[in-house]
Chains A and B, each alone.
Chain A
C-alpha cells in the first residue's frame, strides 16, 4: 500500500521532469543546416550531463551525510568544490601549460587535495564528524578567498572562472557525458560494495566498534567515493550548488528510510532535480541565453525546496553534537589572559599605524609622514577592529545559542543576505554610504525573518536553525552569483565588496562601524546569562526562568544586526565570526562573559593584523582582508584542535 503510493510519487516526479526535458528539446533554437548537430552534439549531451551530474552529486551527498552523520554535509562542506576551483585559478595564473594536460585533471587534483587536507586534519581524532566538517569549512573558506583574490588580481584572464564558479551545463560533444557516466557507474558499484558496513555506521561509535567494524576504513572508502564523484562533476561542469545536499533530503521525503534506500534513491533524486532545473533555466531564457547559470539556479530552487522539506523532517531526539569533546582545560587566571590579549591588540594597533611600505622599502612613519598617512590608516584600523569585534560577538551568540560549533554568521545566511541587500541597491542605481548600509541591514534582517518564520513552528531547535540558515545562505549566494554573472557595474562593485577589503573605508564608515559596535556589543554583554544557560538545552533553560523562545529571538536579531554592520565595513569576513569564539574557548576562556571578552579582543586583533598584512605583503598589490584573516586564523585553529586531541588521547 505505502509502497505503491511511494512508487506513484517517484513516477509522478519523473514524468514532470521528462515533460520539462521534452519541452526544452522541442523549443530548441532552429538553426538551418545545423539542426542535427544541435540536437545530437549540443542538446542531448546537455540533457544527459544534467542527469548524470545530478545523480553523481546525489550519491556523493548521501555518502558524505552518512559518513559524517550530519544532515548538512555535502561536497562543499569538505571544500572539494572550492579546492578544485582554486587549483584551476592557480593553474590558469601561474602554469597555463598545466591546463594543456586538461582542465579536468587540475580540478580533480585540487578537489582531492582539499579533501585530503581536511581528512588529514581529522585523522588524529578518528575522523570525528565535527572536526572534519569544521576543517572542511575552514579549507573551503580559505580556498574561496584565495580564488577570489586571484580573480581580482588577474582581471580578464580568469574570465572563465566566473562561469566555472556558477556551474554551467553547456555541451558541444559527448566527452563530459561519457566521463560522468563511467564515474557514476563505478561510484554506484563501489557504494554497493560498502553498503553493509555503512549501515552499521549508523550506530554510535562505541557500538559499531564493538561489532568489530573497521570504522575508519569504511568511512575513508565512502568519503573517497564521494570526493571522487563531486570532484569529477566540478571538473566537468563547475560548481553545482545544493544538489548534494538536497538530493538525500528529497529522497527521504519520497519515502527512502534505510541507508540502502537512501544511497540508491539519492542519485535518482539528484538526477531529477538537476535535470528539471536545467530545463527551467533553458525554457526561461531567451535568444539562446540561459535565464541563469544552472549551478546558481539549483541553489535558487534547492534552497526553498530544502526549507519546505525542513518542516517535514521528523524532529530528532535530544541529539547532542560531540562538540563538548573540543573543550580544553580552563584558564586558572582568565583576567590575566585577557590583559595579555589586550596588550597584544594595543601593540598591533600601534604597529599598524606606524609601519608601512613604499616603493623604496619598509618604513616606520613618524612626524610629518605619519600625520599625512594617518587619515588613510586610522579608518582602516578602526573599521577592521570594529568589524572583528562585531563578527566575534555574532559568532559567539550563534554558537552558544545553537550549541553547534559550526554556526557562524555565514552559516546563518546573514552575511549573504546583507550582500543581496547590497546587490539590490547597486542594481537599482548607484546609492551612497548610508543607503547601502540600510540595504544591507534590510537584507540581513529579511534572511533572518524568513528563517524565523520557517522554523518558528518547531521552536527554533539548533539543527533546524542551522539547516534553515544554510538554505537561506545558499539562496542568497545564488542570487549574488546570478548578479555576478550578469556582469556590469553592480557585479564589479559586488565582487570588490565580497573580497572584503577596508580600502574603501573612510572616516564616516569607520565611525559608523565603531558606533555600531558600541551599541550592539553592550546588549550582548548584558545577555551573557542567557548565553551561558541556553547551551544546556531548552528544558534546563526554562527551569531557571529563561523565556527560551524570546531569548533566542532577541539573540538572533542581535547577531543579524552585528553581521550586517560588520559586512558593511569590511565585506563578508565571516571566518572571524567562526574563529574568534572558538579560539577564545580553546584558549581556555570557558565562562560566557570571559569568552565574549576574549573573543572580542581576538576578533579585533585578527582583523587588524590581517588588514595590515593585506596592505603590505604583496605590495603594491593589496590582498583582500578576509583572506589574510583566514591565513592567520586557520593554522592556529588547526594547531589548537590538534593540541586538544593529543591531550585527550593520553
Chain B
C-alpha cells in the first residue's frame, strides 16, 4: 500500500517538474535534444527535458513503460534504421548517441552536433558511465540541478528498497525469458546487476551478462542456482508460461518448488537510472509480497 502511494507522489512530482520547465522553455529557447538511444531517452524524460525526437516510441512505451512520454516527441522509427529526414525536420540542436549506433554518426553529424556515450560494454559495469552520461546530458542542456535531483531520487529509491529487503538471505537470479526453454541473465556488467548490489542483494549470476537480444542459455542452467530467487523480468513471451507449467524440469527446480520465483512487469534491461529505479521498486514489491506469502 505504502509503495503505491509513493508511485503516485513521484509521478505527480515528475509532472510538476515538467510543467514549469515547459513554460520557461519558450523564454530561454531551451536546447532541442534528439536521441537514438533508449537509455538517454529515459534519462531525458526523467530530467524533465523531453527530446524533440527519439526512436521506437511504440515499443518504448511497452517495454520501458516509465517515465511517461509526451506526445510532442517525434518517432524516428527503428533504432537501427532511424528516419534521418524526420530527424532533420525535428531541428535538433544536439543529438545524443550511443556506441550501438556509432555507424550512423557521420550521417547524424550532418544534421546537428553529436555527443556519444558508451554505456554498455561486456565485462564493464555500466553504472559509472550512466551517472556520467546523466550529468553530461543535463550539463549540455543547462539543467545540471535536474541531474543531481535524479541521482538523488535514484539513491533514495535504492535505500528504501534496501531497508525493505533486509534479511533476505538468498541471492537473486535476474533473467529474461526468450521462450520456454531459453533465457538471458544479467550479470555485474548490467544496470540490473548493479541495482541488485545497490539494494543489498547478491546476484546469483557471478559472470558477465549474456548480452544481445538473444537468449543463449538453456533453462537447465537454472538447476545450478537452486538456492536463489528467480526474478523473471517482463515482457514474458505469451506461450512460455503454459509450457513451463507443463515442464517436468521447471517444476522440479528447487526455486520453483519452494515458490521462489517472482514475475516482474516489463523493464528495459539496458536502460539508465529510471529503469534501475523501476527494477528496484518492482523487485522489492514482488519479493516482499512473496516472502509474506511464504
Contact = CB atoms under 8 A, between A and B. Distances in A.
A487 B85 contact: no
A290 interface: yes
B279 to A, nearest CB: 15
B199 to A, nearest CB: 23
Interface stretch (B12-20, B134-142, B154-162, B241-249): B241-249
Nearest to B207: A287
Contact of A154 (B59, B81, B180, B181): B59
A591 interface: no
Interface string A89-108: 00010001101101100000
B244 to A, nearest CB: 9
A639 B272 CA distance: 52
Contacts of A264: none
A356 interface: yes
Interface string A167-184: 010111101000000000
B30 interface: no
A619 B81 contact: no
Contacts of A221: none
B106 interface: yes
B31 interface: no
Contact of A620 (B74, B110, B224, B242): B74
Interface in B192-236: 207, 210-221, 223-224, 226, 235
A488 B103 contact: no
Interface string A12-33: 0000000000000000010101
A356 B237 CA distance: 37
Contacts of B99: 489
Contacts of B128: none
Contacts of B180: 172
Interface in A166-203: 168, 170-173, 175
A492 B226 CA distance: 33
Nearest to B176: A159
Contacts of B76: 620
Contacts of A151: 213
A376 B85 contact: yes
Contact of A37 (B89, B102, B210, B248): B248
A551 interface: no
Contacts, number: 204
A8 interface: no
A305 interface: no
Interface stretch (A498-506, A522-530, A554-562): A498-506
Given A92-B237, A170-B181, A492-B100, A486 B212 contact: yes
A237 to B, nearest CB: 9
A289 interface: yes
Interface stretch (B41-49, B145-153, B250-258): B250-258
A487 B216 contact: yes
B104 A159 contact: no
A559 B116 CA distance: 39
A491 interface: yes
Nearest to B99: A489
A160 B238 contact: no
Contact of B249 (A37, A99, A160): A37
A27 to B, nearest CB: 14
A96 B236 CA distance: 11
Interface string B61-98: 01100000000001111111111111011000000000
Contact of B84 (A175, A288, A503): A503
A495 B216 CA distance: 17
Given A173-B247, A506-B106, A159 B215 contact: yes
Interface residues of A, number: 69
A160 B178 contact: yes
B243 to A, nearest CB: 8
A215 interface: no
Nearest to A501: B81
A41 B252 contact: yes
Given A288-B224, A492-B212, A620-B74, A173 B218 contact: no
Contacts of B247: 172-173
Contacts of B220: 38, 42, 170, 172, 288
B239 interface: yes
Contact of A175 (B56, B224, B246): B246
Contacts of B211: 487-488
B218 A358 contact: no
B115 interface: no
A100 B242 contact: yes
B213 A159 contact: yes
Interface residues of B, number: 65
A154 B80 CA distance: 12
Contact of A504 (B74, B100, B103): B103
Contact of B81 (A159, A485, A489, A622): A622
A152 interface: yes
Given A358-B89, A373-B88, A288 B221 contact: yes
B51 to A, nearest CB: 14
B185 to A, nearest CB: 11
A29 B214 CA distance: 23
A223 B53 CA distance: 51
B205 to A, nearest CB: 11
Contacts of B184: 159
Interface in A286-318: 287-290, 293
A375 B178 CA distance: 41
Contacts of A2: none
Interface in A128-175: 151-160, 162-164, 168, 170-173, 175
A622 B77 contact: yes
A163 B89 contact: no
Given A160-B178, A288-B217, A485-B214, A621 B103 contact: no
A172 B250 CA distance: 7
A260 to B, nearest CB: 38
Interface string A395-432: 00000000000000000000000000000000000100
B32 interface: no
A147 to B, nearest CB: 14
A163 to B, nearest CB: 5
A648 to B, nearest CB: 43
Contact of B248 (A154, A173, A621): A173
Chain A CB within 10 Å, residue with most, of B63, B180, B218: B218
A359 B80 CA distance: 20
B217 to A, nearest CB: 6
A372 interface: yes
A618 to B, nearest CB: 8
A155 B79 contact: yes
A119 interface: no
Chain A CB within 10 Å, residue with most, of B77, B215, B269: B77
Contacts of B179: 103, 160, 163-164
Interface of A: 29, 31, 33-34, 37-38, 41-42, 92, 96-97, 99-100, 102-103, 151-160, 162-164, 168, 170-173, 175, 287-290, 293, 356, 358-359, 372-373, 375-376, 430, 484-489, 491-493, 495-496, 499, 501, 503-504, 506, 615, 619-622, 624
The 5 residue pairs across chains A and B that have the minimum distance between CB atoms: A487-B212, A172-B249, A170-B218, A96-B238, A160-B179
20 contacts: A38-B249, A41-B248, A152-B80, A155-B56, A155-B63, A156-B59, A156-B63, A160-B215, A163-B215, A163-B216, A175-B246, A287-B207, A287-B221, A359-B74, A487-B211, A487-B214, A488-B211, A493-B103, A504-B107, A621-B77
Given A159-B215, A485-B216, A621-B77, 15 more contacts: A31-B224, A38-B220, A96-B238, A96-B239, A153-B78, A157-B59, A157-B235, A158-B213, A159-B176, A159-B213, A163-B181, A163-B182, A495-B80, A620-B74, A622-B77
